[in-house]
Homo-oligomer: A and B are copies of this chain.
Amino acid sequence: MYDQLFSYINRYSETLLTPEDEALIKTSLKPASLKKKELFLKQGNICQFTGFILKGAMRQYSVDSAGNEHIIQLALENWWMVDRESYLMKTPSVYNIDAWEDTELLVLEADDLQRLLEIPTIKEMFWKMNQSSFIASQKRLNNSIALPAMERYEELIKTYPDFIQRFPQHIIASYLGISKETLSRVRNKRIQK
């Protein structure tokens, strides 16, 4: 179960984990599981855990005043899921996080994270993860202000083809910031070509 995490970490870092590192990781990250639609984080609560997805699919989303969901982030196996702001600042979150499929996780409390960051290999992994999260977020932002619906969809297919397989279209639509009807029509037009 932990091997999946270890090999993930080793892939992101120059120096491999020592057995002692692995032992510390095992005591810090605890197994958890979520049924489909079960909440991992509820709007208004403080995000207690960072989750590493072993198996399954999750969503992070906000709910606006009209009750519409807006998908901020989707995540599959070997992704980290957390509301960083709430987790780090211990402030109430404006987002919900839930499971879209039955999901197996390893979860990490904020205090334990601090201990883990003593391990250089771990620190390096999180460092790189932060970098790439920011870069990805900035790209998506650029797409969302610079590209029309159709091209945003094209981009998504190129960048995260798995999402299309694993999430229904109305989720994908929300992730792209368009309505499910518009996405449906966009897909029709694509096929015509």
Q: Which of A19-27, A40-48, A136-144, A155-163 contacts B (4 or more CB under 8 A)?
A: A136-144
Q: With the chains together, A133 CA to B70 CA distance in Å?
A: 21
Which of the four size classes fits the interface of chain A?
Answer: 20 to 34
| A2 at the binding interface (Cβ < 8 Å) | no
Question: Hey, which chain B residues are within 8 Å of A68, CB to CB?
Answer: 146
Task: State which of B127, B135, B137 has its C-beta within 8 Å of the C-beta of A138.
Answer: B137
| A134 at the binding interface (Cβ < 8 Å) | yes
| A177 at the binding interface (Cβ < 8 Å) | yes
Task: State which of B133, B134, B142, B177 has its C-beta within 8 Å of the C-beta of A145.
Answer: B177
- Chain A interface (Cβ < 8 Å from any Cβ of B): 62, 64, 68, 70, 72-73, 84-85, 88, 94, 127, 130-131, 133-135, 137-142, 144-147, 176-177
